[in-house]
Structure 1
Amino acid sequence: MIRRSIYEEEHEIFRRSVSAWAEKEVFPHAEAWADDGVIPHEVWRSAGEQGYLAMFADEKYGGLGVDDFRYDMILNEVLAARESGLFLTLHNRIVAPYIHKFGTDDQRERYMPGIVSGDTVLAIAMTEPGTGSDLAAVSTRAVEHDDHWVLNGSKTYISNGMLAGLVVVAAKTNPQASHEVGLFLVEPGMEGFARGRNLKKLGLPSQDTSELFFDNVKVPKANVLGDPTKGFRMMMTNLAEERLIGAVGFMARAERAFEITLEYIQERRAFGKPVGTFQNSRFKMASMRTELDAGWALTDHCARSHMEGELSGEMAAEVKLFTSEVEGRVVDECLQLHGGAGYMEEYEISRLYRDARISRIYAGTSEIMREIIGRGLGLDDRGRN
């Protein structure tokens, strides 16, 4: 593996701390959580006690006041590499920044302490049945009244949907304008807000994913994030970071698949010698090592660009596309090198293979990523016959 110069000594100390916590509080419970289909709230509070939630938050909210993206990269590398299903980065780097960046002082005072402590788990509700990655096509509507908005519609595939104590909901505020979207802070107990099923998925069984329904939900104006017509712009601002933090997790899982396969083929024997001594095995592992090193280099390059405020939407799409495709290829090759054992649920590679499939879909499919990259090259056919 290439030496990753993005990290300094304090980051590696933090990695050791996270790893020790995860070995005690997270990984031993992964199988039980998968059976339950949800991660208990207690582990979120445990993460909060360790200071792992919304680390950028001001100390007056209980945060560390440390806005260093690399710490969340490490959290994702440690947790995503193993099948816990605990995605702290969804809470930390995808949803919490909306409130931190775009919320009012009152909203931050109301919500940030619970976000930092783990008492309030976050979710964001963008995706709808039939819209997929097309955020401009959302059909959930919000209608303004004197002191509140009325929300109607439904969302699906919402991570943390069952557990969330606060949901950021995207809704059209002007049906005549495709990009006039508001972001609304919806809390459990608001009349008309209901959670649907905890959806059964191909992979990531412990990560609760649900439907959400809004039937004339009255949302106070104090629960609107920023300008109720500028939500689309806010979502676009955060999507680049979402795709980058996703890339970190994709690479971590691919790296884990490589490591356990390297160990397996050195021990597994065929025709009287270790599987790893066959030329096919050596060449496959060499190719995967090269792809992994290239993926880590691109990810770290994008992380540096992001920390310098220079990560473009196109580059974020590139790193998301490349790393998710690398993950898919690596886990597939690694399963093949396990032979029949790789198809057995008891072997970790089987579960890594299953969990990896979503990476090319969520946060924008590989096809959407290619569209974004292609348009950035000036290859845009909109408005042409």
Structure 2
Amino acid sequence: MFRDTIDGFVQNHMTPDFEKWEKEGKVDRAFFKAAAEYGFLGLTVGEQHGGMGLDDMYSLVLLEQMARHNMFGPALGICAHSYLAMNYLNHAANEDQKQRYLALSVTAEKIGCLAMTEPGAGSDLAALRTTAIKQGDHYIVNGSKTFITNGVYADYAVVAVKTDPNVGAAGVSLLIIDCNSEGYTTTKLNKLGIRSSDTAEIGLNNVKVPVENLLGEEGKGFYYMMESLQTERLSVAWLCVGSCLGVMDLTLEYIKSREAFGKPIAKIQVLRHKLAELQTEIDCTRALMYLATQRLAKGQNVVKEASMLKLKSAELFKTVTDECLQMFGGYGYMEEYKIARAYRDARVGTILAGSSEIMREIIAKMYIDGIEYNK
């Protein structure tokens, strides 16, 4: 039933405008408003703040099913809003902040983004250079962020800053910054793929942020980030697995209709066996994804599983698009075929939300060195 509702939403509110969004490099704000009317933006937010009060399994189904329609950009926009920016508000914000930002995010009156990555600090979050110096009842913020999804049209950003530059990770804090603040600037980035997802570089030049916009406690930002990265990385897995399923749907339809040597190419053994192999990998990854999300919904630690799924699903999305495009022959290289766009979109999966190399090292530390990450 829920999947049918998502399919109806995609048909009515994504498909008609998707090609326009791909050309413009952003979705319309009306898309977020429509998603809010369906209740999609606050699935895991408490009812007292306008949400549905559901568990993470509903979020999995939402992003997986939405991505299965081979429109990665809009789905990523919702992901960045609901499972990056809003996730921090849901878990770390005080009641005043939840009223001013979280509740309005559920209704799409405000769109959020998460601003962590910097030109010189990606996976090494402790190396952040953006500073927030407290002066009276404000923080003065200086620095820059890059590769920020929803960065151009967001109304607020959850920003990682150094409130004490001298103590490494212990000096990291999180601030909620209004994007219309003086000194806050954005530059739209021109990407290889996922073109309908707005991505920006953010400049912060003496931006004044009220102290009441400190998220949680000062100096606890790194802890909040480590806690929320489980959800962030699982959300990318939800998108990547859904996208794999969507690409397989496209390919199966094509090989059943395309004929060579007097028969559909779906009857050619080498292609049949390749698809069987890919579907097996997808189903195995999907099974772990469902199990890990169930554990997350119960409040269990899934750092290892989230890292494994971020690694495997993103690498698999690349593999599936590459192998399936090959089956389309020359048509797969043409922009009017959805498989060509999927091939471009898949490439960033092994980079965003922690690169594959970082995921392998986290897994290795846990499996080989016996290191435990409590969050």
Matched letter for residue 76 of structure 1: L
Supply the distance in 1 between the matched residues of 2:145 and 2:6 (Cα, whole angstroms).
Answer: 33
- Residue 58 to residue 285, structure 1, CA distance change in 2 (3 Å): closer
Consecutive unaligned residues of structure 1, counting only runs of 5 or more, are 1-12
Q: SS at the partner of 2:205? A: strand
Q: SS at the partner of 1:85? A: helix
Q: Does 1:194 align with 2:185?
A: yes
- Give aligned pairs, total: 367
Report what 1:159 is aligned to.
149
Q: Which of 278, 282, 286 is 1:288 aligned to?
A: 278
Supply the distance in 2 between the matched residues of 1:67 and 1:229 (Cα, whole angstroms).
Answer: 31
Q: SS at the partner of 2:335? A: coil
Q: SS at the partner of 2:73? A: coil
Question: 1:257-296 residue pairs with structure 2 within 5 A?
Answer: 257-296=247-286
Asked if structure 2 preserves the Cα contact closer than 8 Å seen for 1:157 and 1:211, the reply is yes
Q: Does 1:20 align with 2:15?
A: no
Asked if structure 1 preserves the Cα contact closer than 8 Å seen for 2:155 and 2:180, the reply is no
Q: Which moved more, 1:121-130 or 1:261-270?
A: 261-270
Supply the distance in 2 between the matched residues of 1:303 and 1:35 (Cα, whole angstroms).
Answer: 34
Alpha-carbon distance, 1:106 to partner = 0.9
Q: SS at the partner of 2:353? A: coil
Supply the distance in 1 between the matched residues of 2:273 and 2:292 (Cα, whole angstroms).
Answer: 29
Asked if structure 2 preserves the Cα contact closer than 8 Å seen for 1:150 and 1:217, the reply is yes
The alignment yields a C-alpha RMSD, in angstroms, of 1.5
Supply the distance in 2 between the matched residues of 1:345 and 1:44 (Cα, whole angstroms).
Answer: 27
Q: Which moved more, 1:232-241 or 1:71-80?
A: 71-80
Report what 2:211 is aligned to.
221
Asked if structure 1 preserves the Cα contact closer than 8 Å seen for 2:44 and 2:59, the reply is no
Q: SS at the partner of 1:53? A: helix
* TM-score, normalization by structure 1: 0.92
Asked if structure 1 preserves the Cα contact closer than 8 Å seen for 2:42 and 2:50, the reply is no
Asked if structure 2 preserves the Cα contact closer than 8 Å seen for 1:170 and 1:181, the reply is yes
Q: Does 1:254 align with 2:247?
A: no
Asked if structure 2 preserves the Cα contact closer than 8 Å seen for 1:26 and 1:84, the reply is no
Q: Does 1:110 align with 2:100?
A: yes
* TM-score, normalization by structure 2: 0.95
* Cα deviation code 1:246-284 (max 9, x no counterpart): 111101111111111111111111122221211211111
Q: Which of 215, 228, 243 is 1:238 aligned to?
A: 228
Q: SS at the partner of 2:340? A: helix
Matched letter for residue 53 of structure 1: L
Report what 1:98 is aligned to.
88
Alpha-carbon distance, 1:191 to partner = 1.5
Q: Which moved more, 1:223-232 or 1:184-193?
A: 184-193
Asked if structure 2 preserves the Cα contact closer than 8 Å seen for 1:185 and 1:223, the reply is yes
* Cα deviation code 1:140-198 (max 9, x no counterpart): 011112211110000000000011011001011111111021101110221111112x1
Asked if structure 2 preserves the Cα contact closer than 8 Å seen for 1:244 and 1:319, the reply is yes
Matched letter for residue 299 of structure 1: M
Supply the distance in 2 between the matched residues of 1:240 and 1:62 (Cα, whole angstroms).
Answer: 24
Q: Does 1:77 align with 2:67?
A: no
Q: SS at the partner of 1:63? A: coil
Asked if structure 2 preserves the Cα contact closer than 8 Å seen for 1:54 and 1:93, the reply is no
Q: Percent identity between the aligned chains?
A: 39
Report what 1:67 is aligned to.
54
Question: 1:3-152 residue pairs with structure 2 within 5 A?
Answer: 13-64=1-52, 66-81=53-68, 82-83=70-71, 85-86=73-74, 87=76, 88-152=78-142
Alpha-carbon distance, 1:28 to partner = 1.7
Q: Which of 146, 154, 164 is 1:174 aligned to?
A: 164
Supply the distance in 2 between the matched residues of 1:168 and 1:89 (Cα, whole angstroms).
Answer: 14
